[in-house]
Chain A
Amino acid sequence: MTAQIPETIEFENKKQMLLTCPLEDYFTLGKVDSPFNANCSALWRGYIGHWKIINGRLYLISVEPQFDEENTTVLGDIFPGFDNCVFAHWYSGELRIASGKEVEFAHAGFGSVYAREVFLSVEEGVLVSTRVAHHK
């Protein structure tokens, strides 16, 4: 698989790359069809989600369809009544946040390695622990 365009996350007061796609879990668990189309091999999921950690919780702030001019999907279309903020209670797992220089490029998914990577362990949308890895 081609290297994938990451999601973004606001964490530690700055916008960083999120190398995890928590919205995919919502589509799976909620048995909801994704409204996005895969029109580019660098973005099979067809959208970029913008996330934020607020008071130790994971929120989806917005979604942007990509490589699909006709697709006008916004957050409120996926989560009716919630246009600006969605608590990602369905997500449990590790969030991989990358910043700094790309120290190793991998042309496969989120396989590239970055100088600083933060791993947030999340349980049903709530931040449980944080681990930082530095790569040279």
Chain B
Amino acid sequence: MITDVVLYVWLLSLCGVVIHVFWFQWQEAKKGRGFFKDFKWYEWLLLPFLIVGESFVWPYLWYQHVKYQRRKERAVFRVEISDLKNKLSIAEIEEKHVISEPLDCVPPQPFGFLNEAWLDFLADANNPENLYYFEKSHGELSLEHHHKGYAALSSDNKVTQYFIFSSRRELCKVKA
């Protein structure tokens, strides 16, 4: 946001400088001096178009810049409070995610081969009491990821850490 304001002020100043230079040169030209002194009548007609055109160009560039920044922000995956579903205890989660499989090709621990990542998540979140299940879709270029996981909520209602145990990747649907 600060970058946007700085860019806006900078472009506004630039526009001001351009208008000022034209105004000054016009005054000089009336006295038979300066850059525009040899300007023909049709060249004078062009000037307002240039000034007006320029004042349309910079807001457009600014708009494009803001749009690009927002797209970049959207590309970063974040878990928000609005994504959280139901609250569960560590014991409930671990019981729910012990993977049963007939060939014994998975460790008998919560989240199977992702158990270490789960334990790291709990350690990073300081064994939290406020754990919530979440599901969130997140677009990245032409792909959409449907993430499922658990998030830790701090006492001041902020998502501090999250753990993803399932991430389904699909091509984004093209709007008709």
Contacts and interface: CB of A to CB of B under 8 A. Distances in A.
B170 interface: yes
Interface residues of A, number: 24
A13 interface: no
Contact of B165 (A81, A86, A90, A94): A90
Contacts of B113: 26, 30, 79, 86, 89-90
B166 A124 contact: yes
B12 interface: no
Interface of A: 25-26, 28-31, 54-55, 57, 59, 79, 81-82, 85-87, 89-90, 92-94, 123-125
Contacts of B168: 92-93, 123
A26 B166 CA distance: 10
Contacts of A89: 99, 101, 106, 112-113
Interface string B117-147: 1001000000000000000000000000010
B103 A59 contact: yes
Nearest to B146: A92
A92 B103 contact: no
Contacts of A94: 170
Contacts of A59: 103, 105
B167 A92 contact: yes
B78 interface: no
A29 B164 contact: yes
A124 B112 CA distance: 11
Interface centre among A25, A30, A57 (most CB of B within 10 A): A30
B169 A29 contact: no
B107 interface: yes
A125 B113 CA distance: 12
B47 interface: no
A28 B114 CA distance: 10
A97 B101 CA distance: 24
A79 B104 CA distance: 13
